[in-house]
Amino acid sequence: MLRASVIVFPGSNCDRDIKVALENVTGFPVTMVWHGDANVPVSDVIVLPGGFSYGDYLRCGAMAAHSPIMRDVVAKAKAGTPVIGICNGFQVLCESGLLPGVLMRNASLKFICRDVLLKVDNAETFFTKCHLKDQVIRLPVAHAEGNYFADTATLDQLVDENRVVMRYCDAEGNVTEAANPNGSQRNIAGICDKTGRVLGLMPHPERLFELALGGSDGRRILESMLLSVLEAA
Amino acid sequence: MDAKTQTTPEITPEIVAEHGLTSGEYQRLLKILEREPSLTELGIFSVMWSEHCSYKSSRVWLKTLPTSGPQVIQGPGENAGIVDLGDGDACVFKMESHNHPSYIEPYQGAATGVGGIMRDVFTMGARPVANLNALRFGDPAHPKTRHLVSGVVAGIGGYGNCVGVPTVGGETNFDAGYNNNILVNAMCVGLARTDKIFYSAAKGVGLPIVYVGSKTGRDGIHGATMASAEFDEKSDEKRPTVQVGDPFTEKLLIEACLELMDKDVIVAIQDMGAAGLTSSSCEMADKGGVGIALDLDRVPQRETNMTSYEMMLSESQERMLIVLKLGSEAEAEAIFKKWELDFAVVGATTDTGRMVVTHQGRIEADIPVTTLANSAPVYERPWFPLAVPKMILPEWVPAPETILGTLKTMMAGPALCSRRWIWEQYDHMVMGDTVQRPGGNAGIVRVHGTSKGIALTCDVTPRYVAADPIMGAKQAVVETWRNLIAVGADPLAITDNLNFANPERPEVMGQFVGAIKGIAEACNALDYPVVSGNVSLYNETKGAGIPPTPAIGGVGVIPDVAATADIALNREGDLLIVLGRERGHLGQSLYQEIAAGKLEGAPPPIDLADEIKAGRLVRALIREGNVSAIHDTSDGGLLVAIAEMALAGNFGVELFPYEGKLPGHAVWFGEDQGRYVLCVDSMRAEEVLDRARLLALQARIIGRTGGNALMLKGEDPLPLDDLRVAHEAWLPDFMAAP
């Protein structure tokens, strides 16, 4: 089975969406955990959902990174519990130091909501193993601050260590400037930590997991979690 | 203590006038109180009797609208209207204007418009699940237009995105008539269970009145009064009357209120919208038939030394007033503390029938409740029916050089260009139930956890209403109905947002009366009642009024979201059928504006009996799975509808030559009503034509899908890639221009 916990911050608004998607795809119930709690229950995966935790005040993810629950999330992540941060959750992971870099204002300075194409650079992580390397998938983005930035040394290190998990691309898988929706360095849409067990991802897999919503490419990320847990058992 | 004796300056005629009360209205107030009012009382009367809150110019006419039907759970008069979706599900919705504040301060004006309408919906126990908006801006060449578009769109997105409610539809027009008075109409749709609906009537005496949400500040004082007057050169000075929104607090307030609604503790609940604490407390007391005692010392305050006048008139956002069952204060408080929101018992219901407001030990207001809510003046403003221009013949409008070249020009201009630049700034997928995204006939949102859907749209064509208010308003209602039909929905009911100029001018009142008549006629014929709405008058600057703009928001239900259709052509070799009578009507059409350089003549007529027949057939064909794509025809006519279908699906169309008697340009660009373009399997086309004939509806095959261009005999093909670039470019280019 898969024991997933979704952290609910004040202002989270994709918490229910990822719960529904995970339960639908994996068949296992998901636990919602309030940000003010001290501990996350024992989990196979922890999800930091999308939304506007603390209204994005101060800086996206900055306040949430100091929520009481985050001390335990960081501790569990360091002890090996897989953690995925989606959109605002990615921003929280960067702010809490689990992932390097920062998500700045989109180059267009506008909120952007649309489907994007992504090239799967690393299909071996806990969250991506149901993909093929270099596979092109379609997922929605919805953010005003998704412009990934890190210094050159960090970017080189991410590439060298195969930690760039997904990049914005065109239909043929070419990583082009035109395919970059927000100005991210090197078209980065998602990165992981050294273990491949902490993933930050700007696009929303939970928004395209069934054909009724216009596509199902998001399923594979959810299925990867289940497969990874089953394989380890 | 006598309310008159303290704090306030003498009430001079100048102060009365500054509060927007006429001398007749002031005399009425004196008769009610039997003494001079305190300044706080004058402020309370002025907002409650403002046009915005009292509907004093429109009330007699609004009563003539059809508002009932088996599907209606709640009609006008509550915070929002409610229709039955079956299976214990209810849909709660309303559209409301925020025109005046959005012109003065576009970001905050639009943002708080969205926030306000969402509160109207969740106040009733519904979780907001979709937002829409109807926007009218001035001429693109006007120096303020770009700034206003930018601010309004950012404000709508900034608020709705943060709260986490998808914005799934809307419409945007540009017209010089809105240069000094833009329109921002926001619609919110929520879902509730029919046995968990909350109302605003505070029934019962001695019950605690609780204030929750944000603290009260000095923002928005007299917003309702501002919204009830014309603009002049000093309008920018009214910026302090525009409220500031905090969507984060709104999100917390939604969650906290819905959590409280799960307990059995609420007697009545009302958001503090226009006229804030005054109107919310007064309306709850009036509907419950009780009095109300408020102690302003207990109101959570953001600023120091606020007077009773300021607190009663503040329009600070994200606040609610709740009447609780006795003894449930602690349970309620725990929920609001969890969500880190203010919670304060600020008063109680009484048996006096009076609104008594105390502050620092003094009675600052003591007014019979019913006089505020129900004794507001009602005006039967003079009006005259407007002369309707004559029909013009299609031959009177010059033919173009090429049909396809003209199409490209039209689709690359402000009237018909892609609105993607706008709706991509709105999160239209959050909540995970958006089945049809913006850009089609209507938005579709699934009822969470079911296979049912609600279809949502908003429409009006102001140039039609300006030419003929009755026909134009009828057209607005029918266009929403057609849009809902075109996604396979059963249309249920509408909300109307009636935006007009100064009602004290008889011709403006004539437009208003005509629009009401047109709406009523269409709603009656279609069993499609009005369940909520809003009137915005005085959209006028220095004597120049806006075009009459009765925006209509329509809601329908889809039994199974798997049985719907969208506008995108999706395979080669299908046949396109136009259903509905072809008259080649070019009066008031976009083609006429381009080809003749002016709009004239009568707008296209509506035949309600034919609309119903065509609508039923179309819906049946969609549900049977016989339609692979569909679009209603509206602005720009038949060819624009086909082009939008081609662009959406990236399939070209070979257009068959027209062999009838009408001029070609009138066939392709005429804005005849009651029509749909259906894309069907070629094997099924004859059957569809037969079924139309059986209903005495006109229908013919007009083209075949395939290729990557629009092709018309005798003209160069128009490649879809070229058309797409032109269609997508106008708005981003306009907004990026230096």
Residues 79-118 of chain B with CB under 8 A from chain A are none
H-helix segments, B433-468: 462-467
Q: Per the structure, how many domains does chain A have?
A: 1
Residue B32, phi then psi, degrees to nearest 5: -65, -45
pLDDT given for residue B228 in this prediction: 65
Mean pLDDT value of segment B714-729? 97
CB contact, 8 Å: A19 with chain B?
Answer: no
Instruction: Please report which confidence band the pLDDT of residue B374 belongs to, taking 50, 70 and 90 as the band edges.
Output: confident
Question: Cβ of A56 under 8 Å from any chain B Cβ?
Answer: yes
**Predicted pLDDT of residue B233:** 67
Give B435's contacts in chain A (Cβ within 8 Å): 212-214
Residue B622 CA, chain-centre distance (Å), reads: 27
CB atoms within 10 A of CB A106: 19
Find the helix or strand (DSSP H, E) in which B146 lies: helix B145-163
DSSP-derived secondary structure for chain A:
---EEEEE-TTB-SHHHHHHHHHHHH-S-EEEEETT-S-PPS-SEEEE--B-GGGG-SSTTTTGGGSHHHHHHHHHHHTT--EEEETHHHHHHHHTTSS-SEEE--TTSS-EEEEEEEEES---STTTTTSPTT-EEEEEEEES--EEE--HHHHHHHHHTT-EEEEE--TTS---STT-SS--GGGEEEEE-TTS-EEEESS-GGGSSBGGGTB-TTHHHHHHHHHHHHHH-
A123: closest CA of chain B, how far (Å): 26
Mean pLDDT along residues A26-32: 97
pLDDT tens-digit series, residues B425-434: 999 999 999 9
Catalytic hit among A14, A35, A60, A87: A87
Q: What is the pLDDT of residue A82?
A: 98
Does the beta-carbon distance from A111 to B427 stay under 8 Å?
Answer: yes
Report, as an integer, the average pLDDT of B562-587: 97
Q: Which of A30, A113, A213, A222 to mutate to test the interface with B (most CBs of B within 10 A)?
A: A113
- The answer to whether B161 contacts A52, with C-beta atoms less than 8 Å apart, is yes
Best probe of the A interface among B429, B431, B434, B435, by most A CBs < 10 A, is: B429
Interchain contact A126–B (C-beta under 8 A) = no
Weakest mean pLDDT among B5-19, B112-126, B356-370, B480-494? B5-19
Sign, Cα dihedral of B111, B116, B121, B123: positive
The mean pLDDT of B568-593, rounded to a whole number, is 97
Type of residue at A223: E
For the stretch B388-415, pLDDT in tens is 999 999 999 999 999 999 999 999 999 9
Q: Cβ contacts (< 8 Å) between A215 and chain B: which residues?
A: none
Report pLDDT for B737.
85
CA nearest neighbour of B538 among B97, B132, B234: B97
What distance in Å separates residue A214's CA from the closest CA in chain B? 7
B52 labelled catalytic: yes
Inter-chain touch B251–A13, beta carbons under 8 Å: yes
Structure tokens at B556: 């329908």
Angle at which helix B247-261 crosses helix B106-122, to 10 degrees, equals 0
pTM passes above 0.90:
yes
Helix (H) or strand (E) holding B485: helix B469-485
Q: Which residues does chain B have within 8 Å of residue A21's beta carbon, measured at their own beta carbons?
A: 432
What confidence tens digit (pLDDT) does each residue in B258-314 have?
A: 999 999 999 999 999 878 999 999 999 999 999 999 999 999 999 999 999 999 999
Spatial separation of the C-alpha atoms in residues B518 and B516, rounded to whole Å = 5
pLDDT in tens, B522-532: 999 999 999 99
Give the span between the Cα atoms of A30 and A46, in whole angstroms.
10
> How many angstroms separate the CA atoms of B575 and B596, rounded?
33
Whole-number pLDDT of residue B3: 47
The reply to whether B205 touches chain A by the CB within 8 Å rule is: no
> Alpha-carbon distance B58 to B51, whole Å?
9
The number of beta carbons lying within 10 Å of the beta carbon of residue B182 is 25
**Alpha carbon A168 to its chain's center:** 14
B 225-284 → A contacts, CB under 8 A: 246-249, 251-252
Structural element, H or E, at residue B596: helix B590-596
Query: pLDDT band at B165, cuts 50/70/90?
Result: very high
Q: What is the pLDDT of residue B226?
A: 63
pLDDT tens for each residue of B484-524: 999 999 999 999 999 999 999 999 999 999 999 999 999 99
Instruction: Report residue B619 as tokens.
Output: 């819906």
Angle at A32 between CA A31 and CA A33, to 5 degrees: 115
What integer best gives the mean pLDDT of chain B? 94
Q: Which 421-480 residues of chain B touch chain A by CB within 8 A?
A: 423-435, 437, 446
Measured CA to CA in angstroms, residue B146 lies from B103, B151, B182, B734 at distances of 12, 9, 12, 8
Tokens linked to A12: 């989270």
Contacts with B158 from chain A: Cβ below 8 Å? 111
Residues of A in contact with B566 (CB under 8 A): none
Question: In chain A, which residues have their Cβ closer than 8 Å to the Cβ of B248?
Answer: 10-11, 52, 54-57
Tokens of B396: 């009177």
Cβ contact A10–B252 (<8 Å): yes
Q: Do A51 and B432 touch (CB under 8 A)?
A: no
Least confident of A50-64, A137-151, B58-72, B217-231: B217-231
Give yes or no: A87 in active site.
Answer: yes
Give the domain extent around A172: 4-232
Q: What is the DSSP letter of B58?
A: T
CA distance A167 to chain B (A): 21
Quote the pLDDT of residue B74.
97
Percent of chain B residues past pLDDT 70, beyond the cut = 97
Q: Which residues in chain B are closer than 8 Å to A213, comparing Cβ atoms?
A: 429, 432-435
> Residues near A92 by Cβ (< 8 Å), separated by ≥ 6?
A9, A48, A53, A61, A64, A65, A70, A85
pLDDT band at B359 (very low <50, low <70, confident <90, very high): very high
Tens digit of each residue's pLDDT (9 = 90 or more) over B189-219: 999 999 999 999 999 999 999 999 999 998 8
- The average pLDDT across A173-193 equals 98
Q: Which of B317, B293, B275, B276 is nearest to B202 (CA)?
A: B293
> Closest Cα of chain A to B189: distance in Å?
17
> What pLDDT is stored for residue B738 in this prediction?
74
- Maximum C-alpha span of chain B: 88
By the 8 A CB rule, do B274 and B317 touch?
no
pLDDT at B231: 74
d(CA B267, CA B181): 40
C-beta of residue B725 within 8 angstroms of C-beta of residue B413: no
**pLDDT, mean over chain A:** 96
pLDDT at B52 over 90: no
Dihedral sign (CA A114, A115, A119, A120): positive
| CA of B60 vs chain A CAs: smallest distance (Å) | 43
* DSSP structure class, residue B573: T
3-state secondary structure of B524: helix
Q: Are B428 and A113 in contact (CB < 8 Å)? A: yes
pLDDT at B6 over 50: no
CA distances from B535 to B273, B282, B498 (A): 15, 20, 5
Does the pLDDT of residue B5 top 50, yes or no? no
By C-alpha distance, the chain A residue nearest B168 is A113
- Amino acid B225: pLDDT: 65
Q: Which of B46, B717, B8 is nearest to B376 (CA)?
A: B46
Q: Which residues of B touch A11 (CB under 8 A)?
A: 162, 248, 251-252
Q: Is residue B4 scored above 50 in pLDDT? A: no
Mean pLDDT, residues B130-157 taken together: 97
Query: Where residue B668 falls among pLDDT bands split at 50, 70, 90?
Result: very high
- Beta-carbon count within 10 A of B264 CB: 8
CATH number at residue A25: 3.40.50.880
Rg, C-alpha atoms of chain B: 26
